[in-house]
Amino acid sequence: MLKINSSDNSGFKVWITSDTHYNHINICRGTTNWRLPNGEVPEKTTRAFETLEDMNNAIVNNINNIVGEDDILIHCGDFSFGGFDKIGEFRERIICKKLHLVLGNHDNHIERNKNGIRSIFTSVQNYLAVDYNHQKLVLCHYPICSWDDMRKGSYHLFGHLHSSEQSKIMSGRSMDIGMDGNNLTPYEIDYVIRKLSGRPVSFNTLNTDHHLL
């Protein structure tokens, strides 16, 4: 478990994001090959940029404008796309020194640790439990319907869905923290916790989930 205590006046902040898809041709509207059945470009599943350079610069600037060098950034997967070399390029452009990565379905080179690429991250894992100021966060690239200590009020944060702003919060204390639907910008962890803290801590997710009994 990753333990983070930001209440000691050390001055750093903790941020979380997912699905940056740095350099992904098809998610960029001006370069995409995706088409709807009528031949039109799908606006809902693409980002409004004409070039990959414009999209990549926006992603980097949106991170660096709020995430400080001594902050902590947690990334819940699908870091980059379109070539192994883009992984290192993207990481070098992010000024934050501490970047924890939870692997997504497009992070194959990182999962295999090609050429030791994992070393550019503070940590790499498929699942990450975080003790943040004594509050438990369960992080995964994919949404989980029943997670550890859900009944005790733990939070589940994930990506993968590319949800709209109106669809970010799921059942209970769970939320899609991906860049899409948040102006391609990370969330501050404190904001996410405030957003979810008033929600119910238990609910029916699976008919056989004995953790809710």
CATH number at residue 167: 3.60.21.10
182 pLDDT above the threshold of 60: yes
Whole-angstrom Cα distance, residue 186 to residue 64?
Answer: 10
- For residue 190, the SS3 value is helix
Q: What is the pLDDT of residue 130?
A: 98
Q: Treating both helix axes as pointing N-terminal to C-terminal, what angle do 85-93 and 52-64 enclose, rounded to 10 degrees?
A: 40
Say whether pLDDT at 12 is over 70. yes
118 and 110 in contact (C-beta within 8 Å)?
yes
Domain-embedded: residue 213:
no
What DSSP string describes 133-163?
A: TTEEEEEESS--SS-TTTTTT-EEEE-SS--
Q: Would 97 be classed as within a structural domain?
A: yes
**Weakest mean pLDDT among 71-75, 79-83, 116-120:** 79-83
Percent of the chain at pLDDT exceeding 90: 86
Range of the domain at 174: 2-207
- Per-residue pLDDT at 213 exceeds 80: no
pLDDT at 171: 84
Would residue 49 count as lying in a domain?
Answer: yes
Check residue 209 and give its pLDDT: 52
Q: Which tokens hold the place of 161?
A: 């869905």
pLDDT for residue 200: 87
The predicted pLDDT at position 29 comes to 97
Residue 115 pLDDT exceeds 90? yes
Kindly tell me if the per-residue pLDDT of 8 is higher than 70.
Answer: no
Q: Which of 196, 190, 136 is nearest to 14 (CA)?
A: 190
What pLDDT is recorded for position 201? 82
- pLDDT of amino acid 206: 58
Taking the CA atoms of residue 202, residue 206, residue 211 and residue 213 in that order, the dihedral angle to the nearest 10 degrees is 80
Residue 212 lies inside a defined structural domain of this protein:
no
The answer to whether position 87 is within a domain reads yes
Q: How many domains does the chain have?
A: 1
Mean pLDDT to the nearest integer, 26-35: 97
CA distance 169 to 96: 27
Q: Which of 4-8, 62-66, 167-171 has the lowest mean pLDDT?
A: 4-8
Q: pTM value?
A: 0.94
